[in-house]
Amino acid sequence: MHEMILILDFGSQYTQLIARRVREMNVYCEIHPWNKCPELTPNIKGVILSGSPFSVRDEASPKPNLDAIKGKLPLLGVCFGAQYLSHNFGGEVMPSNTREYGRAHLSYVDHSNVLTKGMSDGSQVWMSHGDTIKKIPSNYKIIASTSDVEVAGYQVEGEETFGIQFHPEVYHSLEGAILLKNFIANVCHCKQDWTPDSFVEETVAKLKAQIGDDKVILGLSGGVDSSVAAVLLNKAIGANLHCIFVDNGLLRKNEFAQVLDSYKHMGLNVKGVDASAKFYEALAGLTDPELKRKAIGRVFIEVFDEESKLVENAKWLGQGTIYPDVIESVSVNGGPSQTIKSHHNVGGLPDYMKLQVVEPLRLLFKDEVRRIGRSMNIDEALLGRHPFPGPGLGIRILGEVTAEKVRILQEVDSIFINGLKEDGLYDDVWQAGAIFLPIQSVGVMGDERTYENAVALRAVTSTDGMTADWCHLPYEFLAKISNRIINQVKGINRVTYDISSKPPATIEWE
């Protein structure tokens, strides 16, 4: 078993970022809800307590039992975690006079402390809390302060127990990586050997043990996640993997043929299934985003149920589910994080379908999936493809989905994506696409008045999809693409560009 850092989740929006930062240091970690702590096996080298929307003073706030952890394993409390370790052991936590949110600078750093060694005086950190630690227990020692927060960091004397009031995992804590590396490498003494090659080796071994001689049906989409999942499964079970690529009628222009062609040289057994008519029928009359997602998911499962019956003795359904899908769909391992939206490939299968689910990438972030793919020599052109949602254009058409709207949006999307590639901008963008808006607007073409549809273009930069910023594409490029769309796509007379970030918006509009 690999060395592991255990992260106990108290519902913070940043918990997943802690996990990403730990993994960037080649150390495996898992997030578990604070009230469902797993068995403390010898491979767990340290524990991190996350932040939380709760106040430690609230009666209903999380109250973890740390008897088996504190003083026995390296322990780092972040924000709420730090407040809990103070409040619950004799300190005092009180409401702040003003909400401490945003940038702050360390006015004091204990350079001799193992946690803060190497951090600079004046280093910028990110605060996000309504309470503050007014007093620490007598055996706690302050190791960091800001001008407004005296107890920005502390250590329990005689223990490898630490608390920090700021968030080292976020980008705006400029030296947060130094602190986290100090904890991971110098306090927990992790070997930092969780690499792509080791993941492939261990995952293939696990898949062999899990699946045995059973047959697996895997849904391919042409994207990074399902492709990497397919290669991993192929390494484990070879000919017992049966890949299915479903045309749901909601793919990009010409994507069905292009994707099937791209898999010819990968040694995968792939069958293409045109089920677009079934998806269009299920989506007829639906306008609510969640109902559309559920309808697409239902038909997706039905198609796979039909296909599974054509593969004798198929017992598993492979999926390319990754960590952000799970996090946004259900609370991580049943924890306190809020559900943002449902994903069509998360949450199991209906009882009537006799397939078990196997998800080799379920605990990986998108950038990790690409690293795994590179270690297996998957074509860089495939690994570099922008993410594309499972429900496809169905959630990029606001309102009811029709074949005509799909046709229009496919043309718009094709012009936008090809334009990014032509101008050398594609690799600077994490995800891009077009959205069909449920409005019409007045325009003029020649001497005629038009009343046609509007579309929005969306392009974002990100590393994992958990947070994203809108991409600052050149005005000249946007003007050129807008002109092409309006001139070449009949039915569109207005193009807009989405400049909202995540949060507060999501990357997709539905």
Residue 386 φ/ψ, nearest 5 degrees: -65, 145
Nearest to 200 by CA among 228, 237, 221, 222: 228
Distance from C-alpha of 8 to C-alpha of 177, rounded to nearest angstrom: 19
In terms of DSSP bridges, do strands 492-497 and 448-461 run parallel, antiparallel, or are they unpaired? parallel
The three-point CA angle 212-201-237 to 5° equals: 30
Q: Which of 87, 167, 343, 344 is catalytic?
A: 167
Name the burial class of residue 172, with classes exposed (0-12), middle (13-18) and buried (19+) by CB atoms within 10 angstroms of its CB: middle
Helix (H, G, I), strand (E, B) or coil at 505: coil
Residue 79 is a catalytic residue:
yes
For the chain, the residue count is 510
Residue 349 φ/ψ, nearest 5 degrees: -120, 155
In terms of DSSP bridges, do strands 270-274 and 356-358 run parallel, antiparallel, or are they unpaired? unpaired
Q: Which of 79, 188, 190, 471 is catalytic?
A: 79
Residue by residue, DSSP assigns 277-290 as HHHHHHHTT---HH
Structure tokens at 384: 């570099």
Distance from C-alpha of 411 to C-alpha of 409, rounded to nearest angstrom: 5
Q: Which of 3, 100, 160, 169 is catalytic?
A: 169
Nearest to 337 by CA among 45, 65, 10, 103: 10
Distance from C-alpha of 399 to C-alpha of 286, rounded to nearest angstrom: 7
Q: Are 182 and 113 in contact (CB under 8 A)?
A: no
Which residue carries 């990754």 as its tokens?
322
154 sits in which H/E element: strand 153-156
DSSP H stretches of helix in 338-458? 366-375, 380-383, 403-422
Query: Can you say how many angstroms the Cα of residue 7 is from the centroid of all Cα atoms in its chain?
Result: 17
The order of strands in the sheet holding 270-274 is: 270-274, 241-247, 215-220, 314-318, 356-358
Residue 37 is a catalytic residue:
no
Q: Are 387 and 252 in contact (CB under 8 A)?
A: no
Q: Which residues are the active-site residues?
A: 79, 167, 169
